Chains A and B, each alone.
Chain A
């Protein structure tokens, strides 16, 4: 079963995405801040990381940087999922090695979970 790690401080979003993906046969792991996210990424070796940017403790960009520097986690694809829309944020994320940058408010729950599954099954 493929494993997805969510690093997202809004519990409701984790629950909603988790519910759909669990029903579709994927395992989901939750982290609610950047620090826990990094620890779980190293420990659980997920197949995909969905990363929010505005996070408690460590900012999402810091987390992305650490993920891409650490041997254990640098090859795990990362989807940045945030409400921050600035072009400079998008460019920065892609430059830092994110696979995709998705803006939460642009997609329905179904669209987001489809996109997540697409990246996983590539």
Chain B
């Protein structure tokens, strides 16, 4: 933390504006106020202690005890305000991200329709059909974003309940690969899948699990480099199944790793590759896997690729 950072932190009104909160709700300001309260308490308790208690050691102990209690209180209070402020900032950021994400396909639709209505294009020719395809792709794009947002909303409200039944995870992965085959081809991605033999069935919600696998494969394809290679594995592990997807794509920078499962988070590396993308895929995948009683994690090296894996219990 260099000198410039320290002075920036001391500029309380600016720090508070960053969160979009008033001064009284701002964690830095509260920290400052708590600091003043603690200092005053130390002085007051020392003064009172010295007046009514003879033994200076006892006075010192009393002052230290009071200070410690206040410090712990101050820490708890400022931490919870920090979390609230961060949530508020993320909410504003969410609104701004979503509006921009929806605006992009909307502009595509609007101008394509303007063009078609201007009668400068003959709809019966191939060129005309291309413009109609644009309309279809962009309505799909908006629809997908809205579906993702609704899913996130249901997850947060606890309404995303898995409907479990006995399924073959291998067949589910095969289905996802088939559905994404055109996307793979368009992006020159070479996808391989190596499931172990004789895998047991698992008790899981098929449509939710499929969404999780699709989101992982979607990411692997999107953030691919040239000569994209994606290797998927499925194996029995402990009392469940282990699924892994390894790519040789752009990878995740060290500083971004702790944010990777956050809603709307998109790593700078990802943004540089492709600007559209909701930043919701991994958040949704993680929620699904964890609600199903499994675990999800990854390892990655910037510039070399990532390996995402998850485990699901048999029941």
> Interface of A with B (CB < 8 Å)?
9-13, 15-17, 19-20, 23, 54-58, 83-84, 104-105, 108-110, 112
Contacts and interface: CB of A to CB of B under 8 A. Distances in A.
6 contacts: A12-B134, A15-B131, A16-B114, A83-B103, A105-B107, A112-B111
Given A19-B120, A108-B114, A54 B272 contact: no
Contact of B272 (A13, A15, A57): A57
B107 A15 contact: no
B107 A56 contact: no
Nearest to B120: A23
Interface in B110-136: 110-112, 114-115, 118, 120-121, 127, 130-131, 134
A16 B272 contact: no
Interface of B: 100, 103-104, 106-108, 110-112, 114-115, 118, 120-121, 127, 130-131, 134, 137-138, 271-275
A9 B112 contact: no
Contacts of A9: 275
Contacts of A16: 111-112, 114-115, 131
A63 B167 CA distance: 51
Given A16-B131, A20-B115, A109-B110, 19 more contacts: A10-B108, A12-B111, A12-B112, A12-B134, A12-B138, A16-B112, A17-B111, A19-B120, A19-B121, A23-B120, A54-B275, A57-B272, A83-B103, A84-B100, A104-B111, A105-B103, A108-B110, A108-B111, A109-B114
Q: Is the interface of A mostly helix, strand, loop or mixed?
A: helix
A55 B275 contact: yes
A56 B114 contact: no
Contacts of A12: 108, 111-112, 134, 137-138
A109 B118 CA distance: 10
A15 B100 contact: no
Contact of A15 (B103, B110, B134): B134
Nearest to B106: A105
A103 to B, nearest CB: 9
B104 A10 contact: yes
B98 to A, nearest CB: 12
A33 to B, nearest CB: 9
A55 B272 CA distance: 8
A77 to B, nearest CB: 22
A60 to B, nearest CB: 10
Contacts of B274: 56
Contacts of A17: 111
A55 B137 CA distance: 20
A108 B116 CA distance: 12
Nearest to B121: A19
Given A12-B138, A105-B106, A56 B273 contact: yes
A16 B138 CA distance: 14
A15 B113 CA distance: 12
Contacts of B138: 12
A58 B115 CA distance: 30
Nearest to B138: A12
B112 A110 contact: no
| Smallest CB-CB A-B distances: 6 pairs | A109-B114, A12-B108, A109-B111, A16-B111, A83-B103, A12-B134
A54 B114 contact: no
A19 B273 CA distance: 27
Nearest to B100: A83
B124 to A, nearest CB: 16
Contacts of A10: 104, 107-108
Contacts of B127: 19
Contact of A56 (B120, B121, B272): B272
B103 A104 contact: yes
Contacts of B134: 11-12, 15
Contacts of B114: 16, 108-110
A91 to B, nearest CB: 17
